[in-house]
A = this chain, B = another copy of it.
Amino acid sequence: MPSTASKLVSLNLAGSSIDLTRQICDIESVSGNETALADAIEQALVGYAHLEIIRDGDTVVARTNLGRAQRVVIAGHIDTVPLNENLPTRFETIDGVEYLWGRGTVDMKAGVAVQLKLAVELTEPGVDITWMWYDHEEVSGDLNGLGRLAGNRPDLFAGDFAILGEPTNSRVEGGCNGNLRVDVRTVGLRAHSARAWVGENAIHKAAPILGLLAAYQPREVEVEGLVYREGLNAVGISGGVAGNVIPDECIVHVNYRFAPSRNADEAEAHVRELFAGFDVVVVDKAEGARPGLNAPLAQQFLAAVGGEPMPKYGWTDVARFSALGVPAVNYGPGDPLKAHADDERVAVEQITDCEDGLRSWLAASTR
């Protein structure tokens, strides 16, 4: 529900998308604290006759109902990872490039700002548009606002194509790698370390696990013309009871980022085969998404925004659309390598590039 008027921050949607990015970033919205920003977005949109507004928790949906032949879903999350003395935003120029610096500028409030600006501006788009601004993307998947909305209002996800505004340097990044996390475990027998031969050292038994990981050659897999780069990595290891005890357990936490040529079950089978003989427990398993660039709308979109499409390496919510049968791509301002960084900053030119790209496609070419 909207807050009382006294708490509400007004957004000015009439200025530039750069200015709007700054306004949105300066409303702190670390995951779990999105209400003020969601209220401000809802309030800013509520007067526009071409938009139907739906609120679900701290997710705001705005959609046109113009009877167009096709519908596009365009989504962005409004939460950020925690601050680290990087708000309020400021402008800075580095090597002649102007940046907006601060938490959320890259991941992904610049994308949200572009979307918001176009949502009110494009009263007669060539396709019907469902805009979604959602909460809780940066935390555990079970809290994800898009996931919650898909449960509460699956009808809102109907569409022929979807665009997620995650940072891509304002280039099109298709699909995403899948994400599997497993614990690979060895078991030994405790003993006093002064009489090690009485026990079995579970950490020593993990030597071949690390050996396999160190020697592993990750694949590069072409899917629908895009080359996805995989990765198989230990992201954690633990073992040990005390400084004088032979350890009876060692757990290697392994993360497999797999190309969308494989589904998650196939990815799991690959990892189980690789670590045959070890105890493997699945901790987390998320499907990837094929790029979907063969869809007619995707082809039109690519033609309108220009540039060569790239694969998306990180897992994103495009996979939710992909799983629903809606082709989806990532397209938003900001360098993904600066996402979550303490010096998170977006080149302001990318914001306007993204705005121009989306506008040119939505306004004209698809009618």
Binding site for B on A (CB under 8 A): 177, 179, 181, 192-198, 201, 203-207, 210-211, 213-214, 218, 229, 231, 233-247, 250, 252-253, 255, 257, 283-284, 313-315, 336-337, 339-340
Contacts and interface: CB of A to CB of B under 8 A. Distances in A.
A210 B204 contact: yes
B255 A240 contact: no
A194 B173 CA distance: 14
Contacts of A257: 193-194, 196
A235 B337 contact: no
A207 B213 CA distance: 8
7 contacts: A192-B340, A196-B257, A203-B210, A205-B214, A207-B214, A211-B211, A235-B240
Given A245-B235, A337-B195, A207 B204 contact: no
A236 B229 contact: no
A283 B214 CA distance: 28
Contacts of A336: 195
Contacts of A211: 207, 210-211
Given A203-B252, A214-B205, A315 B194 contact: yes
Given A243-B181, A257-B196, A234 B203 contact: yes
Contacts of A181: 243
B235 A193 contact: yes
A235 B244 contact: yes
Contacts of A179: 194
Contacts of A207: 207, 210-211, 213-214
A120 B295 CA distance: 97
A356 to B, nearest CB: 27
B240 A253 contact: yes
Contact of A235 (B218, B237, B246, B255): B246
Contacts of A247: 234-236
A235 to B, nearest CB: 6
Contacts of A177: 194
Contacts of A194: 177, 179, 231, 257, 313-315
Nearest to A313: B194
A109 to B, nearest CB: 19
Contacts of A252: 203
**Residue of A181, A192, A238, A246 most packed against chain B (CB within 10 A):** A192
A204 B193 contact: no
A198 B337 contact: yes
A141 to B, nearest CB: 11
Nearest to A253: B240
A257 B196 CA distance: 9
A233 B196 contact: yes
A181 B244 CA distance: 9
Instruction: Select the residue from A194, A205, A238, A247 with max chain B CB neighbours within 10 A.
Output: A194
A51 to B, nearest CB: 34
A206 B237 CA distance: 10
Nearest to A212: B207
Contacts of A204: 210, 213-214, 233-234
A233 B198 contact: no
Contacts of A197: 229, 231
A342 B87 CA distance: 55
A314 to B, nearest CB: 4
Contacts of A241: 235
B237 A240 contact: yes
